[in-house]
């Protein structure tokens, strides 16, 4: 949607439990998204969000989405403690805990947790683009 004709992925393959199997998830997710939005070809979507890209100095960095862990779903596998570039995830009583002062809201850990135990909350309104 930002105009690319190829896509590269690395971290999800390196750190995710599915390794290269995650590519099948990408393909299925893309197919489902396109069907739900009525797109039949990639070229119909390519470049749609270009007009919404902001310059770095105009991006709102005061409010952000933060990760949170559902302790009922967390199995304590500790995988997520290796993923966070901001050192925001630690283990407390065998459950992952996220430090809201360190989490940068990058979205990596909720996308990789094998138990879907991590979600993003919404502490403040933040414009992330209109992807419809
Ligand atoms: S949040 Fe997910 S990845 Fe992290 S320890 Fe719990 S189950 Fe494992
Ligand atoms: S969302 Fe990103 S910055 Fe926040 S805890 Fe997860 S990996 Fe770390």
What is the CATH classification number for the domain harbouring 70?
Answer: 3.30.70.20
* Residues 47 and 80 both lie in one domain: no
Q: Is the pLDDT of residue 22 over 50?
A: yes
* Residues 74 and 117 both lie in one domain: yes
* Residues 115 and 66 both lie in one domain: yes
Residues with CB under 6 A from ligand 2: 67, 83-84, 86, 88-89, 98, 103-109
Q: Where are the alpha helices (DSSP H) in the chain?
A: 11-15, 22-37, 108-112
pTM for this model (two decimals): 0.64
Band of residue 125 on the pLDDT scale cut at 50, 70, 90 = very low
Q: Tell me the mean pLDDT in the region 51-63.
A: 79
* Residues 18 and 42 both lie in one domain: yes
Instruction: Give the domain range for residue 90.
Output: 62-124
The percentage of residues in the chain with a pLDDT greater than 70, rounded to a whole number, is 89
Q: Is the pLDDT of residue 132 over 70?
A: no
pLDDT (0 to 100) of residue 64: 75
Taking CA 118 as the corner, what is the angle to CA 68 and CA 33, rounded to the nearest 5 degrees?
125
108 within some domain = yes
CA of 39 to the centre of ligand 2 (A): 31
Band of residue 17 on the pLDDT scale cut at 50, 70, 90 = confident
* Residues 74 and 115 both lie in one domain: yes
Give how many domains the chain has, as a whole number. 2
Q: Are 87 and 97 in contact (CB under 8 A)?
A: no
70 within some domain = yes
131 within some domain = no
The percentage of residues in the chain with a pLDDT greater than 90, rounded to a whole number, is 48
């Amino acid at each position: 949607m930002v105009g690319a004709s190829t896509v590269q992925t690395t971290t999800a393959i390196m750190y995710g439990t599915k390794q290269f199997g995650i590519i099948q998830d990408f393909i299925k997710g893309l197919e489902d998204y396109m069907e739900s939005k009525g797109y039949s070809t990639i070229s119909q979507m390519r470049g749609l969000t270009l007009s919404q890209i902001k310059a770095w100095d105009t991006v709102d960095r005061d409010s952000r989405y933060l990760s949170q862990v559902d302790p009922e779903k967390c199995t304590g596998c500790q995988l997520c403690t290796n993923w966070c570039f901001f050192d925001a995830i630690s283990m407390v009583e065998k459950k992952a805990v996220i430090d809201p002062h360190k989490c940068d809201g990058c979205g990596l850990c909720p996308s990789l947790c094998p138990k879907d135990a991590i979600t993003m909350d919404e502490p403040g309104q933040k414009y992330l683009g209109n992807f419809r």
